[in-house]
Amino acid sequence: MPGTDDDALEPDAACRRAFSEKLPAWYAEHRREMPWRGTADPYRIWVAEVMLQQTRVEQATPYFRRFVDAFPTVEALAEAERDAVLKRWEGLGYYARARHLHEAAQIVADEHGGDVPDTWDAIRELPGIGPYTAAAVLSIAFGKSHAVLDGNVVRLLARVFAVEKDPSKSGTRRRLRDAADALLADACDQGVAPGDFNQAVMELGATVCTPSAPRCPDCPVQDACAAYAEGAPEAYPHKRKKAPVPHHDVAVGLLENEAGELFIQRRPDEGLLAGLWEFPGGKQEGGEALAETCRRELREETGARVEVGRLFHRLNHAYSHFKITLHAFRCRLAEGSNAPTSAEGQPTRWVAPASLDDYAFPRANRRLIEELEERQERPTLFDAAER
Ligand code: SF4
C-alpha cells in the first residue's frame, strides 16, 4: 500500500475498511462539541470554515460566537460596514479572510438571493473560497461528495501512506487528494455522510494524529497506517527545510495632541493588514537610530514634523512570514508643523485613548493599546517632564 515516488496512493482493503467503518464509528464517539456543529445553516458553516482555515478550534470558537451574534445572516453581514466586520475579526489574524468573507456575503446577497451557492463552480467564484473551504461547505452543509484536504488531513494521509515526498509539492498534493477522494467515495458507499467523513478525518488529524507525539494506540486507522508499521509516525510528512524567518525593527509614533488624543490612520485597502487602523511608523533603515526612523516615517506617512520623545514600549511580534520588534515612541507635533494627514489619502483620526477600542487594530498595535490601558494610573502619555 505505501506509495513511492509518483505512484498513485492506492488504499488497500484494510485501509478502506478503516476509513469507511472504524473512523466514522470513532468520530461518532469522540467528536468535540463545536458551536457550528449540528447546524445545517450553510452561512454559519461557511463562517466557521473560513475562521478555521488558519486558526485552531479553541481560538476560533469565541470569535465565531461573537461574529454570528453580530451578523446572524448573510444579509446582515452583507449590509455591515467593513470596519464593523474587521472589528469582530480583530485578534484572529489573516484579515484578508474577513474582507473576502464580507465581499462574498455581498455577492451572495446581491446575486444569489442570500442563498450560499451549493455547486463547486458557483461557490469557488466567491472571494476567499479555495478548494478547502468549498469542499468543507459543500460536504457539511449540502451533503456533496467533495473531500477536504487541510493540513491535518495531509499529515494524516502522508503517515497512513508513508508518503516520501514533500506534501507541499503539487504532484504529491494531487496524489493525496486522489486518495482522500477514493476514501470518501468508499465511505459514502457505506452510507456515511460526506460532511461527517470529512469532519472525522480532520478531527482525527487535529486530536490524535498530531504533528508531534501522535496518539497511535488510540487511533482507529492504526492497522492501515504504514508510518505506524514502520515505527516512525513522526518522520512523516517529510518537510522542506524552512528558510530563516526575516526580522525587522519597526518604529511607530504614539503622536499625541494637546487634548490627549492619539493619531491613527487606516491602512490601505490592499495588502498586509488591509483596512485595519494603526499608529503611523515603519521599518528601520540601515544605520538609522530608531528615534530617527520614527521621525522619518511619520514625516513620510503623515507629512507632519514631529518631536520624538522617550521609548514608550517595545515588543516582539511574529507574522506568518516575518518577525518584528516594534518600538513605540511618544511623539508630539514639532513647532510650526502642519497637521498630520495620510500621504496615501487614507482616513485618519485623533482618538482619545479610551476610544481606541472602537477601532480594529493589528495584534501588535493592540498590544500597545493594552499597555496604554495598563499604565492609565501613571502620568498621561505626555507628562510635564517631557514638555
Ligand atoms: Fe497517525 Fe498514528 Fe494513526 Fe498512523 S497510527 S494515522 S501515525 S495516529
Among protein residues, the one with the nearest Cα to ligand 1's atom 2 is 216
3-class DSSP assignment, residue 196: helix
Contact 296, 317 (CB under 8 A): no
| 247-386 topology per CATH | Nucleoside Triphosphate Pyrophosphohydrolase (3.90.79)
Selecting among 10, 33, 49, 270, the annotated active-site residue is: 49
Instruction: Give, as one character, the DSSP assignment of residue 4.
Output: -
Contact 356, 269 (CB under 8 A): no
Q: Which residue is listed with cell 490612520? A: 265
pLDDT in tens, 124-143: 999 999 999 999 999 999 99
User: Hey, which bits of the chain come out as E strands?
Assistant: 247-255, 262-266, 277-278, 281-283, 306-318, 323-333, 348-351
Which CATH number does the domain 13-235 belong to among 1.10.340.30, 3.20.20.140, 1.10.10.60, 3.30.1310.10?
1.10.340.30
What the block records as the C-alpha cell of 263 is 493619531
Sheet holding 306-318: strands in order across? Answer: 281-283, 247-255, 323-333, 306-318
What the block records as the C-alpha cell of 353 is 485613548
Q: How far is the CA of 219 from the centre of ligand 1 (A)?
A: 6
Domain boundaries, the chain: 13-235, 247-386
Q: State residue 382's pLDDT score.
A: 52
What the block records as the C-alpha cell of 110 is 446581491
Q: Which atom of ligand 1 is nearest to the CA of 222?
A: 5
* Residue 371: its H or E element: helix 363-374
CA–CA gap between residue 23 and residue 363 (Å, rounded) = 38
Q: For every one of its 387 residues, what pLDDT tens digit does the chain have, with 9 covering 90 and above? A: 544 556 788 899 999 999 999 999 999 999 999 999 988 899 999 999 999 988 899 999 999 999 999 999 999 999 999 999 999 999 998 898 999 999 999 999 999 999 999 999 999 999 999 999 999 999 999 999 999 999 999 999 999 999 998 898 889 999 999 999 999 999 999 999 999 999 999 999 999 999 999 999 999 999 999 999 999 999 999 877 778 899 999 999 999 999 999 999 999 888 888 899 999 999 999 889 999 999 999 999 999 999 999 999 999 999 888 999 999 999 999 999 999 999 888 999 999 999 999 999 999 999 999 999 888 744 455 553 444
Q: Which atom of ligand 1 is nearest to the CA of 155?
A: 1
- Tell me which residues have their CB closer than 6 angstroms to ligand 1: 156, 159-160, 208-209, 214, 216, 219, 221-222, 225, 227-228, 233
Q: Which atom of ligand 1 is nearest to the CA of 214?
A: 8
Quote the Cα angle for 273-125-186, to 5°.
110
Tell me the pairing of strands 323-333 and 247-255. parallel
Q: State residue 6's pLDDT score.
A: 67
Model confidence, pTM: 0.80
Q: State residue 68's pLDDT score.
A: 97
CA–CA gap between residue 220 and residue 212 (Å, rounded) = 18
Q: State residue 242's pLDDT score.
A: 77
Q: How far is the CA of 197 from the centre of ligand 1 (A)?
A: 17
Question: Mutation test of ligand 1: which of 228, 230, 238 has the most ligand atoms closer than 8 Å to its C-beta?
Answer: 228
Q: Is 307 a catalytic residue?
A: no
